[in-house]
A and B are shown apart, each in its own frame.
Chain A
Amino acid sequence: MTATETPAATTVLGSRLLRKEDPALLTGEGRYVDDLVVPGALWLGLVRSTVAHARVSVDVGPALDAPGVVAAFTGDDLLDAWAAPLPCAWPVTEDMKAPEHRPVAAGTACYVGDIVAVVVAESRAAARDAVEAVLVDYDELPAVVDLEEAAEDRVLVHEDLGTNRSYTWELTPDADAVERAFAEAAHTVSERYVQQRLIPAAMEPRGVVVVPAPHGGEYTVYSSTQIPHILKVMLAATTGVPEHKIRVIAPAVGGGFGSKLNVYAEEVLALALARKLGRPVRWTEERSEAAVATIQGRGQIQHIELAADAAGKVTAVRVRLLADLGAYLQLVTPGIPLLGAFLYHGVYDIPAYSFSCTGVFTTKTPTDAYRGAGRPEATYAIERAMDALAVEVGVDPAEIRRRNFIPTDAFPYSSAPGLVFDSGDYEPALARALEMVGYEELRAEQARRRESGSTAHLGVGISFYVEMCGLAPSRVLASLNFGAGGWEAATVRVLPTGMVQVVTGTSPHGQGHETSWSMIVADRLGVDPDHVEVLHSDTDVSPHGLDTYGSRSLAVGGTAVWHACEKVVAKARTIAAHQLEVAEEDLEFSGGQFQVRGSPDRAMPIQAVAFQAFLAHDLPEGMEPGLSAQVVWDPPNFTFPFGAHIAVVEVDEETGRVQLLRYVAVDDCGNQVNPLIVEGQVHGGILQGVAQALWEEAAYDGDGNLRSATLADYLVPSAAEAPSYELDHTVTPSPTNPMGVKGVGEAGTIGAAPAVMNAIVDALSPLGVTDIDMPASPHRVWSAIRAAKEAQQ
């Protein structure tokens, strides 16, 4: 592969080690929240508004009479249960408007799915029946569904806020430069793109179990969450239960995609009601419930303009976003569009930059983080716009990109919006992808088909993404007014027998941390990866951590493990030198052995050092016994993975059906710890991005009812729809961390949607089609073809 690869210290790093996690998960041994057996637990049933916007009056009396029902509460009944409303940890501007968000709405329901009452029953079935017995009287208010209409404030979601516009956030370092660039431009494009709402649809729906201790006022909270540590803090804040009395455990978690990076009403309700009733309380989300009760992703209208010179070199980008917040602000709702705010110039060296985003309330399920969170939206806009510019300038889409790439010798690259890209080398990745797909032959085949008048239109779509991963340097988060830091903690303990425990503050839900962290330890300490146990996702076991999201775990959490290993080796070296009676400098550490230079028979394995550290019979003066180290790592910068994705589609002109024929991706996530895991992330990510382009949409009617509330209507693809992925990679290590890693969990999703949509528009360009909204359903594509034909007549 392309040539910047750094040789790994051992053969462990970079090997395709099978995932340690899988045998248990594949044989049904994994224990998810709903699998937990908790004697005496009561079940919650949530009564959810069936109307998007209404004043509600609720009578729980009939539910109380139902068999097996222990208690039932309206929002008003629970007002004294809360020390604070549900949290939003990211007030993006000083004057951001935020509605009070109670776990159970009192008075007004603001979206279909808003909780208006809660019942507690002896069984899940009884809770479900009791939900139906609760009487809810709806005094309907107008729904506010359309984002642009909502921004006009004719109907308000929250009367008391006086507006639907929560905030406007701007980033225009040099307004004059932008104006000048557009005034002097030889070419401009102005595009409007719609990011439809998506339902995260993790394979495991959410669930929570709260078990109170009989004495001491302590609570163990099991939740299907990505963020046990953050959840613990927020549970304390919302319920008033002291933080040190709360233990949060995330057992096996079946996916999250950002949707479990949140603090939900059901979690705080389960804790509050376990406290109130003195019994374990549990809840498992139903699939169709998840469609409205779990946050949704995306939901933006994007206006992007490019100014370019005669050769197509882009001189300015100007972006205006409307972001659909939904009815309330969840944990990081307002900040999601801003995670893309710095990346609307993509991989291109664009000197003038202007970005503005207005967050708008609607009477729909709140939005929040969903795989890529802000960055797929940014990539989509710039990559679609670059194709539009290629058409405008009259050059090939690959060529317009080459003309604008940030040059390799410009790294570390200071971008106009103010980031420093750590490393990058874009040309080789694009060249490799074009070579793999056979770009010239495809263009020739496309020309032949067009010549022949074929109605099976061939399209080729390129997208080239860059993302910022490794969330995040704490001081940068401070500048964005984010309510937490971005560090990560790790402890590495070599036990007396030489086995190793790693405690990590990251919280995996499918990523394979146990495998990857074991490989890092194996590499650093020279031990067998199977001799490493990774402990995580339990706030009593791993008290320090900031959890898993934003492709941060390896670049931040893995780096913490790496540094902790280095501290362990340093201490072990001191002990070994002491016992071998040599100077530390005379010891060489490799393959798990401290070897005296020049004396092959004098060596001490790290396992022996660990035992000596445990015995403490003969340690250097003043040294503490034991061989362990803790590190909290705060990264100095983000990491900036990138990649070239190419989709090849065939569009049936008669029916509008799009068939994804091929998908090529050349990703660069720096050095790879485990290519098997990297490929798995890329496969899943690509399909999730393709799904946004072709299938998935949280579709609402004008009254705010979700029309795609089941998996029969919300089209999550299956293996049958997946293309055969043609993958390769380049390696441009990150200088931000010692392993040179960047992160890859969101890459595929970020690259895929624009590649597919560019391919569809490319296929249909001879018919006059210039844009199609996602998802490109057959109906929508057929309609676009028809409209273009009519316009041409």
Chain B
Amino acid sequence: MIPAKFDYVRAGSAAEAIAALGEHGDEAKLLAGGHSLLPLMKLRLATPAVLVDVGRLDDLRYIRDAGDQIAIGALTRHHDLETSDLLAEQCPMLRHVAHLVGDPQVRHRGTIGGSLAHADPASDLPAAVLALGGTLVARGPDGEREIAATEFFTGFLESALAGDELLTEIRVPKVPGAGWSYQKFNRRAQDWAIVGVAAVRNGTTGVALVNMGTTPLRATAVEEALAGGASAAEAAERADEGTEPTADLNASEEYRRHLARVLTRRALEEAGA
């Protein structure tokens, strides 16, 4: 309820935020929507010495047509995604997945950049961006670089972002008319997925798994099987290959593996793969 003491820096620009990160190093955490970080701080499971608030960088809040891609500013809120006409036309899965994040309060505060940078394997949006084959744009003291979504998630709550880098943009391909599915299995509407599966069929089929290990995962065995001509049901049997799911109050490791297979089959069938 009451976090440990911390200093608070409000960044007026991306450059200021990056400079503040450089100055405070590991002591600092970026604050965007705050819906992952603040609960951890209130439980004193996270005790950053400095919060660098990027929540008011409105120039990083947009959903734009960028040729064959859609460019989304990192501070775009889930609510903006779930109500975007552009996404409805060009990438309806992302819009749908954003609609399933948390509850309305969370969706009005939480940001896509915050969700991806937090790199929670149980979150919805990282898996969606992975399945879509998205690209993330990071800005640091030496300028911008692009990171493929498949390279972004490096460990439990760890990403490829350097300590002084700010995630600024997320790019996803336009996939109008592509078959897609997001199977979120949870017990209450507001909860994280016990297991989730995102599938999008755009030429090849991208499949990503939620909560099946320490990071959001591509279901590569499934993708390979499909590429090799396997049926949805056959491919789905390989959904848990190479995963290391954990056990918790909601599921044993074995049950998670089972759910991954069932939900992948359903996702592939719904996506028409």
Q: Which residue in chain A gives the minimum CB-CB distance to B252?
A: A779
B191 in the interface (beta carbon within 8 A) = yes
Q: Quick check: which of B166-174, B225-233, B255-263 contacts chain A, the rest being far away?
A: B255-263
Are the CB atoms of B188 and A655 closer together than 8 Å? Answer: no
Rounded to whole Å, the gap between the CB of A611 and the closest CB of chain B is 53
Give A691-716 as 1s and 0s: 1 = Cβ < 8 Å from B's Cβ atoms: 00011000100000001101011010
Q: Quick check: which of B1-9, B82-90, B155-163 contacts chain A, the rest being far away?
A: B1-9
Q: A779-B255, A782-B255 are in contact. Are A712 and B4 (CB under 8 A)?
A: no
Rounded to whole Å, the gap between the CB of A568 and the closest CB of chain B is 48
Rounded to whole Å, the gap between the CB of A185 and the closest CB of chain B is 40
Q: How far is the CA of A694 from the CA of B188 in the complex (A)?
A: 10
Tally inter-chain residue pairs, CB-CB below 8 A. 58
Q: Which residues of B contact A779 (CB under 8 A)?
A: 250-252, 255
Partner of B262, one of A655, A710, A721: A655
Rounded to whole Å, the gap between the CB of A145 and the closest CB of chain B is 15
Q: Which residue in chain B gives the minimum CB-CB distance to A783?
A: B255
Rounded to whole Å, the gap between the CB of B193 and the closest CB of chain A is 12
Are the CB atoms of A715 and B255 closer together than 8 Å? Answer: no
A618 in the interface (beta carbon within 8 A) = no
Give B1-25 as 1s and 0s: 1 = Cβ < 8 Å from A's Cβ atoms: 1101100000000000000000000
Q: How far is the CA of A30 from the CA of B192 in the complex (A)?
A: 33
Are the CB atoms of A710 and B190 closer together than 8 Å? Answer: no
Are the CB atoms of A720 and B189 closer together than 8 Å? Answer: yes
Q: Which residues of A contact B258 (CB under 8 A)?
A: 782
Are the CB atoms of A288 and B43 closer together than 8 Å? Answer: yes
Q: How far is the CA of A570 from the CA of B213 in the complex (A)?
A: 76
For chain B, the bracket of interface size reads: 20 to 34
A286 in the interface (beta carbon within 8 A) = yes
Rounded to whole Å, the gap between the CB of B220 and the closest CB of chain A is 24
Q: Which residues of A contact B250 (CB under 8 A)?
A: 777-779
Q: How far is the CA of A124 from the CA of B1 in the complex (A)?
A: 10
Q: How far is the CA of A713 from the CA of B249 in the complex (A)?
A: 8
Q: Which residues of B contact A654 (CB under 8 A)?
A: 262
Q: Which residues of A contact B187 (CB under 8 A)?
A: 694-695, 715, 777-778
A657 in the interface (beta carbon within 8 A) = yes
A192 in the interface (beta carbon within 8 A) = no
Q: Which residue in chain B gives the minimum CB-CB distance to A287?
A: B1
Give A760-793 as 1s and 0s: 1 = Cβ < 8 Å from B's Cβ atoms: 0000000000000000011100110000000000
Q: How far is the CA of A777 from the CA of B188 in the complex (A)?
A: 11
Q: Which residues of A contact B262 (CB under 8 A)?
A: 654-655
B244 in the interface (beta carbon within 8 A) = no
Q: Which residues of A contact B197 (CB under 8 A)?
A: none
Are the CB atoms of A721 and B249 closer together than 8 Å? Answer: no
Q: A286-B1, A699-B249, A779-B251 are in contact. Are A721 and B189 (CB under 8 A)?
A: yes
Q: Which residues of A contact B190 (CB under 8 A)?
A: 718, 720
Q: Which residues of B contact A657 (CB under 8 A)?
A: 185
Are the CB atoms of B189 and A718 closer together than 8 Å? Answer: yes
Rounded to whole Å, the gap between the CB of B161 and the closest CB of chain A is 25
Rounded to whole Å, the gap between the CB of A43 and the closest CB of chain B is 10
Rounded to whole Å, the gap between the CB of A196 and the closest CB of chain B is 12
B208 in the interface (beta carbon within 8 A) = no
Rounded to whole Å, the gap between the CB of B188 and the closest CB of chain A is 6
A625 in the interface (beta carbon within 8 A) = no
Q: Which residues of A contact B259 (CB under 8 A)?
A: 655
Contacting residues of chain B (234-262) with chain A, CB-CB under 8 angstroms: 249-252, 255, 258-259, 262
Q: Which residue in chain A gives the minimum CB-CB distance to B185?
A: A655
Q: Which residues of B contact A783 (CB under 8 A)?
A: 255
Rounded to whole Å, the gap between the CB of B37 and the closest CB of chain A is 15
Q: How far is the CA of A654 from the CA of B190 in the complex (A)?
A: 23
Q: How far is the CA of A297 from the CA of B265 in the complex (A)?
A: 41
A279 in the interface (beta carbon within 8 A) = no
A129 in the interface (beta carbon within 8 A) = yes
Q: Which residues of A contact B185 (CB under 8 A)?
A: 655, 657, 778
Q: How far is the CA of A248 from the CA of B191 in the complex (A)?
A: 40
B125 in the interface (beta carbon within 8 A) = no
B71 in the interface (beta carbon within 8 A) = no
Q: How far is the CA of A713 from the CA of B248 in the complex (A)?
A: 10
Q: Which residue in chain A gives the minimum CB-CB distance to B194?
A: A778
B103 in the interface (beta carbon within 8 A) = yes
Q: Which residues of A contact B251 (CB under 8 A)?
A: 779
Q: Which residues of B contact A288 (CB under 8 A)?
A: 1, 43
A717 in the interface (beta carbon within 8 A) = yes
Rounded to whole Å, the gap between the CB of B107 and the closest CB of chain A is 13
Highest count of chain B CB atoms <10 Å: which of A713, A715, A721: A715
Q: Which residues of A contact B252 (CB under 8 A)?
A: 779
Are the CB atoms of B43 and A710 closer together than 8 Å? Answer: yes
Rounded to whole Å, the gap between the CB of A722 and the closest CB of chain B is 11
A128 in the interface (beta carbon within 8 A) = yes
A478 in the interface (beta carbon within 8 A) = no
Q: Which residue in chain A gives the minimum CB-CB distance to B190?
A: A718
Q: Which residues of B contact A720 (CB under 8 A)?
A: 103, 188-190
Q: How far is the CA of A288 from the CA of B1 in the complex (A)?
A: 8
Q: Which residues of B contact A715 (CB under 8 A)?
A: 187-188, 191
Partner of B249, one of A128, A132, A694, A708: A708
Rounded to whole Å, the gap between the CB of B232 and the closest CB of chain A is 15
Are the CB atoms of A718 and B255 closer together than 8 Å? Answer: no
Are the CB atoms of A125 and B191 closer together than 8 Å? Answer: no
Q: A288-B43, A699-B249, A713-B249 are in contact. Are A721 and B1 (CB under 8 A)?
A: no
30 inter-chain pairs at a CB distance below 8 angstroms, sorted by A residue, are A125-B2, A128-B2, A129-B4, A129-B5, A132-B4, A286-B1, A286-B2, A288-B1, A288-B43, A289-B1, A655-B263, A694-B187, A707-B249, A710-B43, A712-B192, A715-B188, A715-B191, A717-B188, A718-B189, A720-B190, A721-B189, A777-B187, A777-B250, A778-B185, A778-B187, A779-B250, A779-B251, A782-B255, A782-B258, A783-B255
- What 16 additional pairs, Cβ within 8 angstroms, besides A125-B2, A286-B1, A654-B262? A125-B5, A286-B2, A657-B185, A694-B187, A695-B188, A708-B249, A713-B249, A717-B188, A718-B188, A720-B103, A721-B188, A721-B189, A778-B194, A779-B250, A779-B255, A782-B258
| Interface of B toward A, CB cutoff 8 Å | 1-2, 4-5, 43-44, 103, 185, 187-192, 194, 249-252, 255, 258-259, 262-263
Closest 5 CB pairs of A and B: A720-B189, A286-B1, A128-B2, A654-B262, A779-B255
